[in-house]
Chains A and B, each alone.
Chain A
Amino acid sequence: MPMLPAVEFLVLFPFLMGFIMLFVPKQLTSLRSVVAGIGGFAIMAVSIATAVTVLVSKEGETNAFLEHAALPEIFIIAGELLLFAVVVFLSLKYHKYYCILLGAMGTLPVLWMDLTGRAETEACHLRVDYLSAVMILIVGIVGVLICIYACGYMRDYHEHHDDIPNRSNYFLALLFVFLGAMFGLICSDNLGFIFFFWEITSVCSFLLIGYTRSEEAVNNSFRALWMNLLGGMGFAFGLMYCHLQLGIYTLYDLTKLDPAANEVLLIPVTLFAFAALTKSAQFPFSRWLLGAMVAPTPSSALLHSATMVKIGVYMLLRLSPMLRGNLTGIMISVIGGFTFFAASLLAITVSDGKKVLAYSTISNLGLITACAGTGTPEGMWAATMLILFHAVSKSLLFQTVGDIENCMHSRDIEDMHGLIIKLPKLAFIMIIGICGMFMAPFGMLVSKWAALKSFVDSNSVWLVLFLVFGSGSTLFYWAKWLGSICAVIHQSVDLEDITPRSEYISIIPLTTMIVIMCFAFPWMSNHMVQPVLNEAYHTNIPNVIGGSDVVIMIIMVAMVFLIPIGSRVLALGKTDKMTMSYMAGVNAGDDRHYVDSFGKERALYISNWYMEQIFGEKRLLVPCICISAVIVALMVIIVVGGAWV
């Protein structure tokens, strides 16, 4: 298929969709769902077609377009001004003046550069290669499904929360705009374009988080804004250095070079990596992502799985070959490894379902960052695989938690006790999602296996230690959640599953994808990840994952699905007597009440362990932020300062 129109459609059509969503009356919810569905599936179809076209093509580097771009340049300058105006207006309105400063420091120099003609307009602007194709698939499938899910969700949301002004058409419009910015970012090669889309996602996420306009939402949204603007500022400095000092105008030209030969190259690389750390919510910038969950669930799902946080790791993957064996790479991987470990400890201590998911996102992104930071092909393989599996599992988990919240008005894990009886369908989906996040033989494990191998091969002792200890705590927090869901409480009442069909349109494909990806990962490795590696390292990288291991992993997957049959065989010819669970003989007729020592009947409550005294947020969060802030500051000062002098 012709590539340029397809890419233009992917970048521009979501913006148009956003415009349309703004003007569909919010009372006509079914009309809105239909419009979003048609538009969404059109985007999905084009993105799949585009990605497949690129992935089957043999030479990925020919897909570069827009050599002369005078017209889009004007749009971009106008767009940057508009974004800056939004930041200034809202910062003034809510008296958060520091955001204006941070915004100005990022935007104004770049504008000056554009307006005075110091920016190169002859270089190529768009480039779609294998990595872009993989990202297009993620955004086009997972992102679009979230937008479709959002239509039904927002209707229910405003039925439950009548205190919040219904601005759902604005919310949906933002989601589509976000998708457009994502496509723009992953298809752009010109650093100026990338910066523009980078800032759109920052401002969009800020607006999404502040959707409810409650005090908490406003505070959290400004926290997200300043952290991302800080990252954007880093990006802008890197961009300016590339333009003015190095004469490099595209990301592709930058990644072609070898920093071992020319040390000043590390300046932009470090600044871009710094920007990536803020976007992927690595420590010390994690708090914006934790605060982001005040917004309605679809925005959390979008920020956490397919879009926002994936931009950071996408950028790191682009830079990954340049990070091998230098201080920036080591620092980035140490921050990643530390984040993986610390966030997994913190995840143990929280009982709010969305918060656990948020910490797990931070933790997983830490692992991806660490992999990308090693700069080895195995590390990049693991990182790409992790991005794929994480996007699908995490968006599914967020959507399910959102539905559970709509059904039982709580998203606390303690209240999900016995979910398998109360809401069997959602519980089953959730179990698949959780297994996809941590358990053998689901995809995450394959990637963790590769990550461990790459850490050992690159001789990174610290990363190995972070990974093994982090794996222990990851296991703990997921398994206790899984346990809560699986608890069978007799005679509990079925809750009404009010999940609308439009949400199942999104949830069922995601669940299916997790299961399919379990079986398909060798194929994915060969046809999606391996080309990315060959392209990034400009040579043929030998297959990362060996043949016999693949067979064993496939056997394990098959066993998971065979065990229900196996348990039937083992139980053959036996008639089991049903009984109540053991309570030292003081059950009061069922297994939910017991008789206390005064002969009174009391309800039984079984809580999970959170170990707040040991790993609590109060104890760990601030030290973690301080330690990592020091590491980040050291990295920027030593590398940038050192190379400058």
Chain B
Amino acid sequence: MSPWMVVVRVIAYLVLAPVIGGLLAGLDRVISARMQGRQGPPILQPFYDLYKLIIKQTTVVNSIQILFVSAYLIFTIFTGALFFGGGDMLLVFFALSMSEVMLVLAAFSTNGPYSAMGAQRELLQMMCYEPMILLVAIGFYEAGGSFMVGNLAQVSSPAILRIPGMFIGFLFILIIKLRKSPFDMSTSHHAHQEMVKGLTVDLSGNYLALTELAEWYDIVLMLGVVGMFFITSNPLSYLLAVVVCSLVFFLETFIDNIFPRVKVTTMLAVTWGVILVSAGTNLVVLSVLR
């Protein structure tokens, strides 16, 4: 990829990701509502919410909070830019976990009981999905021979053929990453959360808006990773990737609506089990084939 192409892609990501992410968040609410037999909000509702959060007066608990929330947003955007700019996949995921830690620290810093509880749960969630995220990078390396996203997009056969187990594992941890039930412990998009809003309970106004925005960037990045499983040097594969991403997004919303929230220990056991079985087996098979 030429440097200009990289710049164009990064700028496209910076501008389009919040739009797509916001629309997806709206779509998610509409689909959920229809599944529950409700009318649901307009699809642009998340943008109205964001606007309202920004113009409202912000109350903060301490000044460190502001620092961490900004760091969360900046690192999430950086992570996505690195990915869509064709950077090193391992570095993308290392940067991603760093941005998550920032959000957790923002919650820790408030010293509120709900925030602190949410932060601990969020850390446990990270512990659950971190192995899979790293394994995805390794899977792509095994399948495409490179950690660079730019090179991986130029392969002749889609990665899914060689790493289907990684794909399944990734879909599974995407439930955690997108904060869907049954694993939406630290904070949830739904009102039925037993710890008020958990992780973000002590954030308000401006800074809550920043975390929403960061989440939209994050959704696009995650779907980008899903798409990578199907992308080849053939331009038509991008179409396939978009179709699969929509299906995956619908699937995640569907799962959100049919499973009740589980205990953290169940989450740990189930996620690590699924990762070990699907991605682990895949890895073993690949190493035998090599």
Task: Write the residues of chain A forming the contact surface with B, with a CB cutoff of 8 angstroms.
Answer: 417-418, 420, 439-441, 445, 449, 452-453, 456, 459, 461, 464-465, 467-469, 471-473, 475-476, 479-480, 482-484, 486-490, 548-549, 552-553, 556, 559, 563-564, 566-567, 570-571, 574-584, 591, 604, 606, 608-609, 614
- A-B CB contact pairs (8 Å), 16 listed: A441-B94, A441-B98, A456-B138, A461-B284, A472-B130, A475-B123, A479-B126, A480-B123, A556-B95, A563-B70, A563-B71, A570-B66, A576-B206, A578-B59, A581-B112, A582-B115
Partner of A468 from the list B58, B126, B130 (CB cut-off 8 Å) is: B130
Nearest 8 CB-CB pairings of A with B: A581-B112, A483-B108, A567-B70, A472-B130, A468-B131, A488-B62, A579-B59, A472-B127
Residue from A418, A420, A468 with most neighbouring chain B CB atoms (10 Å): A468
The answer to whether B94 and A449 touch across the interface, beta carbons within 8 angstroms, is: yes
**Contact pattern, B 116-160, Cβ under 8 Å of A = 1, otherwise 0:** 100110011011111110110010011000011000000000000
Which residues on the B side are within 8 Å of A483 (C-beta)?
A: 104-105, 107-109, 116, 119, 123
The answer to whether A591 and B67 touch across the interface, beta carbons within 8 angstroms, is: no
The answer to whether B60 and A420 touch across the interface, beta carbons within 8 angstroms, is: no
Query: Smallest CB–CB gap between A243 and chain B, Å?
Result: 40
Query: Smallest CB–CB gap between A385 and chain B, Å?
Result: 15
Which residues on the B side are within 8 Å of A445 (C-beta)?
A: 94
The answer to whether A464 and B283 touch across the interface, beta carbons within 8 angstroms, is: yes
Residue from A445, A453, A465, A564 with most neighbouring chain B CB atoms (10 Å): A465
Q: In the complex the two chains form, what is the Cα distance from A416 to B112 in whole Å?
A: 16
- Judge whether B16 is part of the interface by a CB distance below 8 angstroms: no
Which residues on the B side are within 8 Å of A467 (C-beta)?
A: 134
Instruction: Find the A residue at minimum CB distance from B75.
Output: A559
Query: Smallest CB–CB gap between A33 and chain B, Å?
Result: 36
- Judge whether B240 is part of the interface by a CB distance below 8 angstroms: no
Q: In the complex the two chains form, what is the Cα distance from A576 to B70 in whole Å?
A: 15
Q: In the complex the two chains form, what is the Cα distance from A486 to B191 in whole Å?
A: 29
Q: In the complex the two chains form, what is the Cα distance from A187 to B201 in whole Å?
A: 58
The answer to whether B62 and A469 touch across the interface, beta carbons within 8 angstroms, is: no
Instruction: Find the B residue at minimum CB distance from A445.
Output: B94
Interface residues contributed by chain B, number (CB under 8 Å): 72
Query: Smallest CB–CB gap between A395 and chain B, Å?
Result: 24
Q: In the complex the two chains form, what is the Cα distance from A354 to B101 in whole Å?
A: 23
The answer to whether A578 and B60 touch across the interface, beta carbons within 8 angstroms, is: yes
The answer to whether B126 and A476 touch across the interface, beta carbons within 8 angstroms, is: yes
Task: Write the residues of chain B forming the contact surface with A, with a CB cutoff of 8 angstroms.
Answer: 57-62, 64-71, 73-75, 78, 82, 87-88, 90-91, 94-95, 97-98, 101, 104-105, 107-116, 119-120, 123-124, 126-132, 134-135, 138, 141-142, 147-148, 196, 201-202, 206, 210, 265, 268, 272, 276, 280, 283-284, 287, 290
The answer to whether A552 and B115 touch across the interface, beta carbons within 8 angstroms, is: no
Which residues on the A side are within 8 Å of B138 (C-beta)?
A: 452, 456, 464, 468
| Secondary structure of the A contact surface, majority rule | helix
The answer to whether B71 and A567 touch across the interface, beta carbons within 8 angstroms, is: yes
Query: Smallest CB–CB gap between B137 and chain A, Å?
Result: 8
Partner of B111 from the list A548, A556, A591 (CB cut-off 8 Å) is: A591
Query: Smallest CB–CB gap between A441 and chain B, Å?
Result: 8
The answer to whether B58 and A576 touch across the interface, beta carbons within 8 angstroms, is: yes
Q: A468-B138, A581-B110 provided; 18 other pairs, C-beta below 8 A? A: A459-B290, A461-B287, A464-B135, A472-B128, A483-B123, A484-B108, A488-B109, A548-B87, A552-B82, A563-B70, A566-B74, A576-B66, A576-B206, A577-B57, A578-B59, A579-B60, A608-B120, A609-B120
Given A549-B91, A556-B78, A582-B114, the answer on whether A479 and B123 have CB atoms closer than 8 Å is yes
Partner of A563 from the list B74, B116, B142 (CB cut-off 8 Å) is: B74
Which residues on the A side are within 8 Å of B135 (C-beta)?
A: 464, 468
Q: In the complex the two chains form, what is the Cα distance from A548 to B3 in whole Å?
A: 12
Query: Smallest CB–CB gap between B259 and chain A, Å?
Result: 22
